[in-house]
C-alpha cells in the first residue's frame, strides 16, 4: 500500500484547472496558426497565397503575401494585340518598399519616371506573351500600389511578413 506521504493530496485544484484551460486555448491558437499557414496566409503555397486580376486585356498573377527579403514572382499574361510594345508601369509606392530582382524576358527598355518605373516588353503582334517579374520586398508591412498595363491601372495590395 502507498503511504499518505506520497499522495499529492494538497494540490491547488483551482490553479490546475486554470492552467489546463490556458493549455487548451494555446492548442486552439496553434491550430489556427497552422491552418492559416496551410491555406496560404503565410505565403509560399496554399489556396490564398496568390491572386489573379485583370488589367485591360492582360491577366496578372501576383502574391498576396510575401516574405521580407525573399523573391516572389509577378506574372503578366499579355493578350494578343496589334502593337509589339507592351508597357508595364509600377507605381512609386511599389518602388519605395519593393525592388525588382529581374524579369524574364528582359524588358527592352526600363525608365524611371515620377509616376514609377516603366518596363517595356516586346511581344510579336497578334500573339500572346508572358512576362515574369521577380520582386524582392525590402521592408515588412502592407504595400498598396498600382500597376498599369498599356495604360489600364489596377490597385494591388501585398502583405510582407517578417
93-126: per-residue pLDDT in tens?
A: 998 999 999 999 999 999 999 999 999 999 999 8
Helix (H, G, I), strand (E, B) or coil at 22: helix
- Rounded Cα gap, residues 103 and 148, in angstroms: 17
Cα–Cα separations (whole angstroms), residue 56 to 37, 123, 124: 32, 16, 18
Q: Is the pLDDT of residue 8 over 80?
A: no
Contact status, residue 89 vs residue 117, Cβ threshold 8 Å: yes
pLDDT in tens, 32-48: 999 988 888 877 777 88
Neighbours of 99 (CB within 10 A): 14
Amino acid at each position: 500500500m502507498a503511504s499518505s506521504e506520497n499522495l499529492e493530496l494538497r494540490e491547488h485544484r483551482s490553479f490546475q484547472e486554470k492552467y489546463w484551460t490556458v493549455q487548451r486555448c494555446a492548442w486552439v491558437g496553434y491550430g489556427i496558426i497552422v491552418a492559416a499557414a496551410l491555406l496560404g496566409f503565410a505565403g509560399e503555397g496554399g489556396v490564398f497565397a496568390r491572386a489573379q486580376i485583370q488589367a485591360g486585356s492582360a491577366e496578372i498573377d501576383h502574391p498576396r503575401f510575401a516574405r521580407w527579403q525573399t523573391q516572389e514572382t509577378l506574372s503578366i499574361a499579355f493578350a494578343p494585340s496589334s502593337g509589339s510594345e507592351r508597357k508595364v508601369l509600377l507605381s512609386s509606392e511599389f518602388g519605395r518598399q519593393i525592388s525588382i530582382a529581374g524579369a524574364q524576358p528582359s524588358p527592352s527598355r526600363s525608365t524611371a519616371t515620377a509616376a514609377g518605373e516603366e518596363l517595356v516588353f516586346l511581344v510579336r503582334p497578334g500573339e500572346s506573351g508572358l512576362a515574369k517579374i521577380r520582386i524582392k520586398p525590402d521592408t515588412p508591412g502592407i504595400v498598396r500600389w498600382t500597376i498599369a498595363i498599356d495604360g489600364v491601372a489596377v490597385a494591388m495590395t501585398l502583405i510582407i511578413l517578417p
